[in-house]
Amino acid sequence: MISIIIPTFNEMKSGFLAPIFDRLGRLRHAEVFAVDGGSTDGTTEFIAGHGVSILSLPGSSRAARLNLGMDQSQGDVLLLHHPRTVIEVNAIEELLTLVGADQVAWGGYTHQFDHVHPLLRFTSWYSNHVRCDRSGILYLDHCIFLSRAVKLSGIKIPDVDIFEDTELSKLLLRLGKPVRLPAVALTSAIRFRRNGLWRQAFLNQLLKIAYHLRLPHDVLNHFYEKGLSLNKK
């Protein structure tokens, strides 16, 4: 069985909930948890309408939501599913044939944005071939998977407001390099569309520099979420 954990917070504006849960509803061997951070826009009502279990953790970071879902999971493989990313059903079910419960393995899917632009194509290429394949760092929009053996090793995502996926990848790298599957994780470019392509790209690079300089995570997240509040209030 696959355990799918989706950390949500006011997701209705993205338009991705319907295609995500339409696909998840077709899975044959899966348990699905939505862990919500206190949505007020109808997100939890929409998810409940699809018969999905909802765990509530108001005011939480995305890291805390993911940790709660991982704690509750019973699957042989865990899939940390980004709330604004679509993966096809066969690509999710394939995890059961690729990753054994007792095998120490982790990885993600091949990133692609839902908006066509040379800058976004380059961003996805870099994310796939440089950050993932060479450095072993995966962002959540790759939809990170890990085996039950990895979970049982005691992995916990550091409870930070931003770059929790980078922190998780650093911990997982101690167990081995990630596997990038060829199936596409199609991700919303909502930040780029709302803030402007080049402005968002520049902001992303500034935040990465600030992260490596170890500036406070809550301050970085404040700038990242300004005007959008996609991950946290």
Query: pLDDT-derived band of residue 81, with 50, 70 and 90 as boundaries?
Result: very high
Query: Domains in the chain: how many in total?
Result: 1
Residue 203 confidence (pLDDT): 86
Q: Token pair of 215, please?
A: 């500036």
Q: Is residue 44 part of a domain?
A: yes
- Note the pLDDT of residue 231: 56
Confirm whether 231 is domain-assigned: no
Span 34-42, mean pLDDT?
95
pLDDT of residue 223: 61
Q: Is the residue at 133 inside a domain?
A: yes
Residue 232 maps to a domain: no
pLDDT in tens, 197-210: 898 888 888 888 87
Distances (CA, A) of 214 to 31, 160, 163, 169, 217: 37, 12, 11, 17, 8
171 occurs within a structural domain:
yes
pLDDT at 114: 94
Q: What are the pLDDT digits (tens) for 128-159?
A: 999 999 999 999 999 999 999 999 999 999 99
- For the segment 102-115, the average pLDDT, to the nearest whole number, is 94
CATH number of the CATH domain containing 208: 3.90.550.10
Digit-coded pLDDT (tens) for 85-101: 999 999 999 998 888 87
Q: Extract the tokens encoding 157.
A: 């995502």
In a domain, 26, yes or no: yes
Full residue range of the structural domain in which residue 177 is found? 2-225
- Phi, psi (deg, nearest 5) at residue 157: -80, 125
Three-state secondary structure readout of 3-67? EEEEEECCCHHHCCHHHHHHHHCCCCCEEEEEEECCCCCCHHHHHHCCCCEEEECCCCCHHHHHH
Residue 41 belongs to some domain of the structure: yes
What span, in angstroms and rounded, lies between the C-alpha atoms of 87 and 2?
14
Q: Is the whole model's pTM more than 0.95, yes or no?
A: no
Average pLDDT over residues 68-89: 96
Q: Spell 154-176 as b/e; 16+ CB within 10 A means b.
A: ebebeebbbbbbbbbbebbeebe
Q: What is the band of 194 on the pLDDT scale with cuts at 50, 70, 90?
A: confident
Residue 101 lies inside a defined structural domain of this protein? yes
**What phi, psi does 149 have (nearest 5°)?**
-60, -35
